[in-house]
Structure 1
Amino acid sequence: MNRSIKQLMLFVAVTVGITAYAQDRSIDNFTDVGERGVNVFEAPKTQDYIFDGLKVRIGGSSTLQFQGVNHENSGAIPIVEIGDNFNLATANLDLDVALAKGLRMHLRTYLSSRHHNEPYVKGGYLQVDQLDFIQEGLFEDMMKYVTIKVGHMENNYGDAHFRRTDNAMATHNPFVGNLIMDAFTTEVGAEVYYRNNGWLAMVGLTNAKLNQSVEDPGKTKASVLAKVGFDKQLSDDLRVRLTGSVYHNNKVASSYLYTGDRAGARYYSVLDKDEEALSQAARADFRTGRYNPNLKNEITALMFNPFVKFKGLEFFGTVERSSGKMTAETKDRVATQLAGELIYRFGANEKFYLGSRYNKVSAEDATHGDVDIDRLQVTGGVFLTNNILAKLEYVNQNYDGFGATSEYQDGKFNGIMLEAAISF
């Protein structure tokens, strides 16, 4: 039996045993993974702690899509033939542990993903909201407003990553696909938050490495990230949030901000090269449908995210500008991204929704010069329970400016995606 499968079976057996002692799954400062967690960004911070001893919350996600998408390009570079069928079912396993009052741990493992056929750890962190585990009442007044996160974790650049699909975790994403320039990375670091009366400030520092190693010292400096914003329920009907974020590194061996998602993109095989027709070794691209500006060795990324919810109608926007270069380049290149989502939620407890998103990227590509990619998504969904979401999406994506050496020359894909997502 495969060693990974044996390890997984043992782990599941142990966690099932633990679950028998953890019937109450409530944990302080935890974002619900189902419908109740929709439109929650940073994890909530409470002053009414319920901690009464160590508690292990076992959770997870499972997601499956039916894909009916067509694609085409100029024909200069052959692309694979695709048809209508089901994609690989993806799965996550989550451990959230209340260790002490105001102290919890999170760990996510990808059990099945597009890019890996074996389980592997995405990342995890320790979240500190109180210091009573060191000494009761230590900095009590300060810790009413401060949160500290430390780990090899998903870094808090921008707000779009809170609404994106994370492998099988898709219940907070009203769409099937993520943004074209999908900012997401997991790096070892720490983030310190201050929240008071709707105002938010965060500063963080990471080692800028996706794959950890002590080799090649000096090739990579630390990355700095920060966020400031305002988020408040102004009335029973109106909530307003606006944040600005920055991620910066002026010397990195390889920046992963737009390639850090190793799980893979949702639109399978679209505009993927037909390597057999090209007489090359097979090399499937697990990030199909996305764009990486390849600001590999120096990068400064800025993202602004407005969010407004009035009754059942909500708007979420993304304005992003990334600049930087590869070491061999003499000047910075720039990539900009605009996205706007309009969602209307209705029915009992807003279990139904309809919406659309327009997403456009304009970039100075290192190979092809000025390029543009735009995407329209139209969606509808229903929460069958707090933990089960079914959604249907129409997607239409177009590429412009790519040359004859690219599979994206005159490229486009369009069609429907049907997705069922379970998170608990």
Structure 2
Amino acid sequence: MKITIFKFTAMCVLMGVSQLFAQEKFTIQPELQNFRQPGYDGLNVFEEPKNDTVPFDGLKVRVGGDFALQLQGINHTSDSALANLGTNFNLPTANLNLDVQLADGVRMHLRTYLSSRHHNEAWIKGGHIQIDKLDFISDGFLSGFMDIATLKIGLDEINYGDAHFRRSDNARAIYNPFVGNYIMDAFTTEAFGELTLQPGPFLAVAGISNGNLNQSVNIGTKENKLSFYGKLGYDDQINNDLRLRLTGSFLASTGYDNGQYLYSGDRSGARYYWVMVKEGAADNFRSGRFNPGFAKFNAFQINPFVKWKGLEFFGIYEMAMGDQADPDVTPMMEGGSFTQLGGELLYRFGSWDQFYAGGRFNSVSGNYTENSPDISINRFNVGLGWFFTKNVMVKLEYVNQMYSDEGWTGSEAHFNGGSFDGAVFEAVIGF
């Protein structure tokens, strides 16, 4: 009961305070160094830039939040009996965000999910320390290197691929032009350390994580191993009208007992509620998504981004290859591979590009092992959006997702002949 009262109060505070901050310029919130602004001003921002001129004049605490509410009208069908869906509102989701400037070039981020699809209680998503200067060691220490370098250490989302910068993170849906995330949703929160270099228009990322979503010193018979990831890229504003970005990322999960969470690490829940859930079954909070389920694997993702005036294109080419289990223990479980393709085309218009319209295509195909039959998923989205202010927006989309090929067996047999389609309206606040 106390948790429910706390959640309700916190959500009301977020909604009320957002009206103070939902202006075209922040007048109350403190300015932080190397910080991605929530709302419209944070659109199409990927890694935090290194061209910040915000001076440090003491410790600053920025309290922010996110709120999202969907009205969903989706139908689904398959060769099996599915849950009976109607048109209604989903449970509102909310985040509480704390960003603290601790020292010159040192900042902390902490996000708490106040309400989510999967957890009806408040819980911490993760947090990290971001270091852009080493002046706390001595004034100007390695300043030439730190002019292009950023260090991140914590337990939070890792920087694999570019799609995670545009995805909905529970209630933080203001950067996502559509309601849903990609089918293979590359997102995980793990204990990590990460170095980012941004010399001019070039980009390099090197990171290491412990491969665990839930942390425990009691490992039992598991042999935990590290995961490694990185990114290389180019990002340049060619002129006032044209921006080009191209990145390639990889992740190597080196053990069979941990590191398998890249496509199942989001514990807040998918955005299309109850779709393709069997009749009489409990809700699957990952409904509409797909996880290859590899125990040990390698993945890479290539992301082009082009913005010309009001026209934007963002793309995904991704492959994940690995084993479902250790073949020395469980034979015939190796050699699986899945490919994801995605592309979204948007046009932003209005006096300050506050409106947009666009579409997205997303597909996943492949097999669980080298001897298993293929499976395929295809999704189409078309949508519209409107930023009332830089911190308040609404979006409306139509989604159609289809399941095909012969590999849907066992616990996934209800995907045979399966599809869902319909409209979703979402209102979002982020400040």
- The match for 2:105 among 95, 102, 121 is 102
Q: Check 1:98–1:8 CA distance in 2 against 1; reply closer, same or farther (3 A cut).
A: farther
1:331, 1:120 → 2: CA distance?
A: 36
Q: Measure, in 2, the Cα distance between the counterparts of 1:8 and 1:69.
A: 28
The aligned residue for residue 2 of structure 2 is 2
Query: Taking structure 1 as reference, are residues 11 and 375 closer, same or farther at Cα in structure 2, changes over 3 Å only?
Result: closer
How do 1:289-368 residues align onto structure 2 when only pairs under 5 Å count? 289-295=288-294, 297-327=295-325, 328=330, 329-365=332-368
Distance 2:288 2:66 in 1: 23
- CA distance in structure 1 between the partners assigned to 2:366 and 2:262 by the alignment: 16
Kindly tell me the number of residue pairs found equivalent between the two proteins.
410
Q: Tell me, in whole angstroms, the C-alpha distance in 2 between the residues paired with 1:249 and 1:190.
A: 15
- The CA deviation string for residues 283-339 of structure 1, in whole angstroms up to 9 with x for no partner, is 3200110011111x2010100000000000010000000001122345220000000
Alignment partner of 1:411 is 2:415: no
- Work out the CA distance in 1 between the residues paired with 2:344 and 2:89: 27
Q: What is the CA-CA distance between 1:45 and the residue it aligns to?
A: 1.8
SS of residue matched to 2:41: helix
Give the TM-score of the pair, scaled to structure 1.
0.92
Q: 1:252 and 1:8 mapped to 2: Cα distance?
A: 41
Task: Confirm whether residue 41 of structure 1 aligns to residue 46 of structure 2.
Answer: yes
**Equivalent residue, structure 2, for 1:386:** 390
Whether the 8 Å CA contact 2:375–2:408 is kept in 1: the answer is: no
Q: CA deviation at 1:201?
A: 0.3
Q: Residue type of the partner of 1:127?
A: Q
Structure 1 residue 5: deviation in Å? Answer: 4.8
**Amino acid corresponding to residue 133 of structure 1 in structure 2:** F
* Alignment correspondent of 1:64: 69
Alpha-carbon spacing, 1:269–1:3, altered in 2? closer, same or farther (3 Å)? closer
**Do the aligned partners of 2:324 and 2:334 also contact (CA within 8 Å) in 1?**
no
Partner of 2:24: none
| In 2, Cα distance between equivalents of 1:362 and 1:115 | 27
Post-superposition Cα deviations, 1:233-261, rounded to whole Å, max 9, x if no partner, equal 00110000000000101214241111100
3-state DSSP of counterpart to 1:341: strand
Amino acid at match of 2:150: T
The equivalent residue for 2:429 is: 422
Q: 1:242 maps to which residue?
A: 246
Alpha-carbon distance in structure 1 between the residues aligned to 2:29 and 2:92: 29
Structure 2: gaps spanning 5 or more residues: 21-26
- What does 1:111-190 align with in structure 2 at a 5 Å threshold? 111-190=114-193
Cα 1:10/1:185, change in 2 over 3 Å: closer
Give how far 1:25 is off.
Answer: 2.1
What does residue 85 of structure 1 align with? 88
Q: What is the Cα deviation at residue 11 of structure 1?
A: 12
User: Does the Cα contact within 8 Å between 2:160 and 2:230 map onto a contact in 1?
Assistant: yes
- Select between 22-31 and 298-307 the one with higher mean Cα deviation: 22-31
Q: Structure 2 counterpart of 1:195, which letter?
A: Q
- SS of the residue aligned with 1:407? helix
Q: Which residue identity does 2:133 align to in structure 1?
A: Q
Separation in 1, partners of 2:208, 2:140:
27
Distance (whole Å) between structure 2 residues aligned to residue 165 and residue 152 of structure 1: 19
Return the letter of the residue paired with 1:259: S
Contact 2:157/2:189 (8 A) holds in 1: yes
SS at match of 1:161: helix
Distance across 1 between alignment mates of 2:164 and 2:248: 13
Is the contact between residue 208 and residue 252 of structure 1 (CA under 8 Å) also seen in structure 2? Answer: no
Asked whether the equivalents of residues 229 and 242 of structure 1 are also in contact (C-alpha less than 8 Å), the reply is: yes
Q: Structure 1 pair 191/256, CA: closer, same or farther in 2 (3 Å)?
A: same
Mapped to 1, the partners of 2:29 and 2:426 lie a distance apart of 30
Asked if the contact 1:49–1:102 (Cα under 8 Å) also holds between the matched residues in 2, the reply is no
Q: Which amino acid aligns with 2:2?
A: N
Cα pair distance change 1:7/1:83, threshold 3 Å: closer
Q: In terms of mean alpha carbon deviation, does 403-412 or 87-96 score higher?
A: 403-412
For 1:154-209, what per-residue CA distance to the aligned partner results, in whole angstroms no more than 9, with x for missing partners? Answer: 00000000000000000100000000000100000100011011100010000000
Partners of 1:48 and 1:250 in 2: CA distance: 40
Deviation for aligned residue 1:10: 9.6
What SS class does the counterpart of residue 369 from structure 1 fall into? coil
Equivalent AA in structure 2 for residue 332 of structure 1 = G
Residues 113-145 of structure 1: CA deviation (Å, up to 9, x unaligned) = 000000000000000000112211111111101
Q: Secondary structure at the match of 1:49?
A: coil
Please point out which of 35, 38, 54 is paired with 2:59.
54
Query: Normalization by structure 2: what TM-score?
Result: 0.91
SS where residue 196 of structure 1 aligns?
coil
Is residue 191 of structure 2 the alignment partner of residue 191 of structure 1? no
Counterpart of 2:104, as a letter, is: K
